[in-house]
Amino acid sequence: MKQITFYLDFISPYAYLAFEELPRALQGLSYSVRYKPVFLGGLLKHNAVLGPAEVPPKRHWIYRHVQWLAQRQGVALEFPATHPFNPLGLLRLAIATQSEGLPNRYVCETLFQHVWQGGADAADAARLHAVTTSLAPGRNPGDDSVKAQLKAHSDEAIAQGVFGVPSFEVDGKVFWGLDALPMLRACLEGDAWFTDHDADMRWNAVQTLPSGIPLRKP
């Protein structure tokens, strides 16, 4: 059985759609999933890039695109009253529900629906209090230990080469984005692209490909 680490932030509509699609995309395969909340803003800052919603034309396109994808997947999606918003309260709540900071699928589903269904303010204090009461975390989401675990998850993601969400790590390989799910499935199935004698060279060679323009370094 393969173990997948799913790095997510509830602020991301693509992470929400990937969360909903994952069971269908990997149907019939033997795997387990660890859900690791990370702070997308921290990943973006580390890599010195703007968030998708910080570039107005890109923001408009993404919002159109995810609505179309949701309709195609049969997933209920309605934008929160304000987006982007500060997701730290939701991330810390997710972390606080489990001793190692690994929320289960029910917790993640509840928090994704809190954001992406109903059209309310995802960061509203009263709503955050209500969903906290509903999930009844074993720790106070405001505790320093919870904040430290969220940072540790984000630092781990960066060390793995994660630069955005959703990202899926398996056997040291990172797959980014909703549209990477077919590639992830192929990897889990043992597709020859991942297993033949050139597989490791093929995967790693892109890291040494020369660039004709200066690249920003984290």
- Give the tens place of pLDDT for each residue, 87-118: 999 999 999 999 999 999 999 999 999 999 99
Say which amino acid occupies 73.
Q
Spatial distance between the Cα atoms of 16 and 11, rounded to a whole number of angstroms:
8
Spatial distance between the Cα atoms of 111 and 113, rounded to a whole number of angstroms:
5
Domains of the chain: 2-208 (3.40.30.10)
For 27, the token pair is 């149907």
Residues in the chain: 218
Say which amino acid occupies 71.
Q
Cβ 166 vs Cβ 178: under 8 Å: yes
- DSSP class of residue 102? -
Helix (H) or strand (E) holding 193: helix 192-195
Q: pLDDT tens for residues 9-30?
A: 999 999 999 999 999 999 999 9
Spatial distance between the Cα atoms of 148 and 92, rounded to a whole number of angstroms:
10
Q: pLDDT tens for residues 168-191?
A: 999 999 999 999 999 999 999 999
pLDDT at 68: 98
